[in-house]
Amino acid sequence: MQVILIQDVNNLGGANELVSVKNGYGRNYLIPRKLAVEASPSNITMMEEKKKQQAKKEAKLLAEINSVIAVLKDGALKIGAKTGTSGKIFGSVTAVQIARAIRDQKGYEIDRRRISIIDEVKELGTYKAKIDFGNGNETEVDFEVVAE
């Protein structure tokens, strides 16, 4: 029996995927629990249309991510920190401060959990942070820690 999965099913396949299963498994488990629908010609055309729409959405999202990456790579962010006389900063620079600097200086809202700082920031200077946009899209951003 051929079915189209509505949701991801472990050890079987992902959503909008056409799979072959035994008749009993399809009729008694997948279809009643709304995990799949029978693979009729009309359902197959609907599945293909959903895949096309999803591909368009992903292409649009990828273009938007690339434009954000281009803006972030344009110049270094400046982050102010309180320092002692020797140039060491009190505390350290965190992902929250980098996210706030991106919002204020570049105009993009990025979740702090997507930002990871590569080196520990304890002194004034230039450092790098990595931003993960998901689906393998990530970039490194330069930021400069300056005295307030």
C-beta of residue 133 within 8 angstroms of C-beta of residue 65: yes
Angstrom distance (rounded) from CA 4 to CA 21: 10
CATH code of 69-147, in short, is: 3.10.430.100
C-beta of residue 143 within 8 angstroms of C-beta of residue 81: no
Class of domain 2-63: alpha beta
pTM above 0.85, yes or no: no
Q: How would you write the pLDDT of the chain (148 residues) with one tens digit per residue?
A: 999 999 999 999 998 899 999 999 999 999 999 999 999 999 999 989 988 999 999 999 889 888 888 888 888 889 988 888 887 888 888 899 999 999 999 888 999 999 999 888 888 889 999 999 887 888 899 999 988 8
Nearest to 99 by CA among 124, 127, 131: 131
Nearest to 26 by CA among 43, 12, 41: 12
Nearest to 93 by CA among 112, 125, 120, 75: 120
- The structure tokens listed for 24 are 């009993």
Write down the domain spans for the chain: 2-63, 69-147
Angstrom distance (rounded) from CA 79 to CA 3: 54
